[in-house]
């Protein structure tokens, strides 16, 4: 059985492998989860290497925890070319 992974955001444990419903994240939440700076995140979005936020309530940007979790899992995998050399 997989161990439960948790990360604290605003003092609330966010379960990275148990997602009961959509959990909306602000840029500050994403910074806390990834450890990246705001400018790094937005540059990666511009380059197409990070999930784009969703527009909610007009001009507010939010990511879903699922978006970030999927990106983090994919980023942790070696590129396909490295898998073929093994």
Parse the chain into domains and list their residue ranges. 6-85
- What whole-number distance in Å separates Cα of residue 6 and Cα of residue 57? 28
The second-level CATH assignment, the architecture, of 6-85 is Orthogonal Bundle (1.10)
The larger pLDDT score, comparing residue 22 to residue 82, is at: 22
Residue 35 has pLDDT above 80, yes or no: yes
pTM greater than 0.75 (yes/no) = no
> pLDDT digits over 51-71, tens only?
999 988 888 999 999 999 999
pLDDT at 23: 86
CA 28 distance to own-chain centroid: 12
When the pLDDT of each residue in the chain is averaged and rounded to a whole number, the result is: 81
How big is the chain by its Cα radius of gyration, in Å? 14
pLDDT at 36: 95
């Amino acid at each position: 059985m997989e161990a439960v992974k948790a990360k604290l955001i605003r003092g609330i444990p966010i379960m990275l492998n148990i997602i009961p419903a959509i959990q909306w994240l602000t840029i500050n939440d994403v910074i806390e989860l990834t450890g990246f700076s705001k400018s790094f995140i937005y540059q990666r979005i511009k380059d197409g290497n990070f999930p784009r936020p969703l527009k909610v309530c007009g001009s507010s940007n939010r990511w879903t925890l699922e978006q970030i979790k999927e990106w983090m899992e994919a980023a942790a995998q070696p590129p396909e070319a490295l898998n073929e050399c093994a």
